[in-house]
Amino acid sequence: MISDKKIAIKFLLFVLVCLFVLGDAEVRCIEREREALLSFKNGLIDDYGCLSSWQSDKCCKWYGVWCSNTTGHVIALRLNSDDYGGKLRGEVGSSLLKLHHLNYLDLGSNDFGGNPIPKFIGSTKQLQHLYLVRSNFSGIVPPQIGNLTNLQSLSLSFNSLRIENLDWLSSLSQLSYLDLSQIDLSHTNWLQNILSVRSLDKLYLNSCNIKDAEPSVNSSSISLSVISMYSNNLTSSSFHWLSNISTNLVYMDISGNALDGPIPDSFIERLVLIEDLYLSGNKLEGQIPKSLSNLGHLRALLLYGNGFKGDLDDLFGNNLGKEYLNHSKFWT
């Protein structure tokens, strides 16, 4: 999934920065933080020995732990099971609160037994990146996450979670990456809350039971480059706000919705930078819009599963790049 790749790339950049700062220096482990990490470990069930290195006095060399070279404080904890092939189980312990300089926390792809996301997570106010994707959390997303005013990235996707109110989003004024995929947002004022986050760059709301909404504020007030909202209940009335939400879009996936009728030219004309456009599995019909051929940056176009007429060869001629692959499958 593209969101997972973006997370991995972002962490890799984070690690490279850390390595550049660290060099060959020996980083001293702060004892109270070592004790906090061991207390956190005691709440976990480590069937695969993923944390077997968490024994020595050098906690900055433990698996998944990253420290600042200048201060020695723990600044990142990445325990994503995709990295080591085994899942941690148990509970997320409040000893994390003793890591006062932790700004990166990734507990993705583990198994926390259907427990709720702990409310105390909202007190780790130094966090800039929080990833809890696919970790078997359930229950209501704690609105205390709105207290994390330094957050730049937030992924709670693919858990058994629900959100009753998204008002807390407006407090996250630095948030640029948001993934709430597979969380039911049908009872929230989702669009207004999303538009309140002016800093958003990448947005993933896949399989969120979203239906059409009318923005009461200017939808062009944010500048998204990526928007992915596949497998929802959007109809063609969404083309209006999607046309205005950003002129910086390079990636849009609104496949598997209830879009019908022709694609408005006014919608296509706003996609001046679009590279990947996925509209498959809707109820769109009519001639394939000629305006699609004016999208000079387009490299991937999926139109299959609709009722379009026409031929992409007639529309694009020899201008279809090699990245289109077998473009004949992109429409029916």
Q: What is the mean pLDDT of each run of 10 residues along the chain (332 residues)?
A: 62 58 64 97 94 93 94 96 88 96 97 96 97 97 97 98 94 97 94 92 96 69 89 94 89 97 94 95 93 91 91 69 41 38
Q: Are residues 79 and 192 in the same domain?
A: yes
Q: Are residues 51 and 164 in the same domain?
A: yes
Question: In whole angstroms, what is the distance from residue 16 CA to residue 24 CA?
Answer: 13
Q: Are residues 86 and 136 in the same domain?
A: yes
Q: Is residue 215 part of a domain?
A: no
Least Cα distance to 251 among 290, 202, 286, 193 occurs for 202
Q: Is residue 236 part of a domain?
A: no
Residue 221: what pLDDT?
59
Q: Are residues 178 and 264 in the same domain?
A: no
Amino acid type, 83:
D
Q: Are residues 332 and 192 in the same domain?
A: no
Tokens of 114: 């259907």
Q: Is residue 237 part of a domain?
A: no
In the chain, the number of structural domains is: 2
User: Which three-class secondary structure state does DSSP give residue 233?
Assistant: strand
Q: Are residues 127 and 269 in the same domain?
A: no
Q: Which residue reads 């972002």 in tokens?
A: 10
230 with 257: CB under 8 angstroms? Answer: yes
Question: In whole angstroms, what is the distance from residue 188 CA to residue 136 CA?
Answer: 22
Tokens of 259: 């879009």
Q: Are residues 287 and 164 in the same domain?
A: no
Least Cα distance to 275 among 299, 247, 242 occurs for 299
Write the CATH number for 263. Answer: 3.80.10.10
Q: Are residues 82 and 142 in the same domain?
A: yes
The DSSP 8-state label assigned to residue 211 in this structure reads B
Q: Is residue 189 part of a domain?
A: yes
Question: In whole angstroms, what is the distance from residue 326 CA to residue 169 CA?
Answer: 41
Q: Is residue 168 part of a domain?
A: yes
Q: Is residue 104 part of a domain?
A: yes
Q: Are residues 113 and 38 in the same domain?
A: yes
Q: Are residues 58 and 186 in the same domain?
A: yes
Residue 314: what pLDDT?
76
Segments forming the whole domain that contains residue 299: 223-230+243-332
Residue 8: what pLDDT?
63
Q: Is residue 194 part of a domain?
A: yes
Residue 223: what pLDDT?
84
Residue 312: what pLDDT?
77
Q: Is residue 235 part of a domain?
A: no
Residue partners of 194: CB distance under 8 A and separation at least 6: 166, 169, 178, 200, 203, 205, 222
Q: Are residues 8 and 51 in the same domain?
A: yes
Question: In whole angstroms, what is the distance from residue 146 CA to residue 160 CA?
Answer: 20
User: Which three-class secondary structure state does DSSP give residue 180?
Assistant: coil
Question: What is the pTM assigned to this prediction?
Answer: 0.88
Q: Are residues 178 and 247 in the same domain?
A: no
